[in-house]
Amino acid sequence: PVTYWTFLIGGLALSGFPLTAGFFSKDEILAKAYEFNFLLYAIGLFTALLTAFYTFRAIILTFHGQPKDRKLYDSAHRESSVMTTPLVVLAALSLLGGLMGLPAALGLPNWIEGWLEPILEAGQSLTGEMRHAALGTEVMLILASSVIAILGITAAWWVYVKNPQIAERVAAKYHSAYTVLFNKYYIDEIYNKLIVEPGKALGRFFYRVIDKAFIDDVMVDGLAKVTKGFGATVSGWQSGYIGNYVMGIFVGSVVIVVYFFLR
């Protein structure tokens, strides 16, 4: 239950549902986009609609749909406080966090904007003086954001709860497009082929050739083997027999005499 309700609250905020934290932040972004360029505002509004739709699609299919793996579903256990405590905190912020940034154009306190004012003032020389939209415009933008969020949520409910056959028909009719979208434009596969697999191959090369063959076998183990072999050879001379030492001194002396004689 805790996971469901916190997920639902987070989904409402992500969708920009009125009075949630996500609503105020999204409304602020859309308002600035509207002041700057109407096309950007329209794109943002459409994106907000899609966000509300796919967010509640996830909620509906996850918590109200049928499990695809009954074995995993039956083996699921209740969440622990280690998981639920952060979820509750985040859900509370999702509900109440927007109160720190109420629309200033409506005469409401906007603590976030006031807190960032020293930073924003520094950039006014580049962007121009900050202006708030007129009251009527601000109300219109707030209503538009609210309608878009509610419309996206309602559309998800209509498609995946009320008429689930719609999604099936659309997927069958536009199978190619559905396949591309279902596979996320094959971004994962492309990334895996171009980045992951070459990266793994390069890693294996460095491990086998550079790390293991050169550093371990040649530099570390190789030098150790040479030192060990040299030590074993030299240690053979340390036999403990005085006769061997005398013979060594004699041979060395002869070599030195011959060397200086032949110079």
Convert the pLDDT of each residue in 63-90 to its tens digit.
887 777 778 777 777 778 888 899 999 9
Strand partners, 110: 101
- Give the model's pLDDT for residue 132: 59
- Give the model's pLDDT for residue 116: 63
Using CA atoms, how far apart are residues 107 and 89, in angstroms rounded to an integer?
Answer: 29
My answer on whether 15 and 105 are in the same domain is yes
My answer on whether 118 and 236 are in the same domain is no
My answer on whether 109 and 208 are in the same domain is no
- Give the model's pLDDT for residue 118: 67
My answer on whether 238 and 152 are in the same domain is no
My answer on whether 44 and 123 are in the same domain is yes
The alpha carbon torsion through 29, 32, 36, 37 (nearest 10 deg) reads 50
Using CA atoms, how far apart are residues 24 and 101, in angstroms rounded to an integer?
Answer: 7
My answer on whether 150 and 195 are in the same domain is no
My answer on whether 202 and 225 are in the same domain is yes
* % of the chain at pLDDT higher than 70: 85
Is there a contact between 35 and 133 (Cβ–Cβ < 8 Å)? yes
My answer on whether 79 and 177 are in the same domain is yes
| End position of a domain, from candidates 128, 154, 182 | 182
Name the domain count of the chain: 2
More confident residue, 61 or 105: 61
Who's near 166: CB < 8 A, 6+ residues apart? Answer: 158, 159
Pick from 32, 22, 17, 19: nearest CA to 141: 32
Structural domain of 48: 2-182
Predicted TM-score of the model (pTM): 0.63
My answer on whether 172 and 199 are in the same domain is no
My answer on whether 235 and 123 are in the same domain is no
| End position of a domain, from candidates 149, 182, 215 | 182
My answer on whether 156 and 122 are in the same domain is yes
Tens digit of each residue's pLDDT (9 = 90 or more) over 85-142: 999 999 998 888 777 766 665 566 666 666 666 666 655 555 555 555 666 777 888 8
| End position of a domain, from candidates 166, 182, 198 | 182
Write down the mean pLDDT value for the chain: 83
My answer on whether 204 and 117 are in the same domain is no
Using CA atoms, how far apart are residues 54 and 77, in angstroms rounded to an integer?
Answer: 26
Tens digit of each residue's pLDDT (9 = 90 or more) over 145-202: 889 999 999 999 999 888 888 888 888 888 899 899 888 899 999 999 999 999 999 9
Lowest mean pLDDT among 43-57, 113-127, 202-216: 113-127
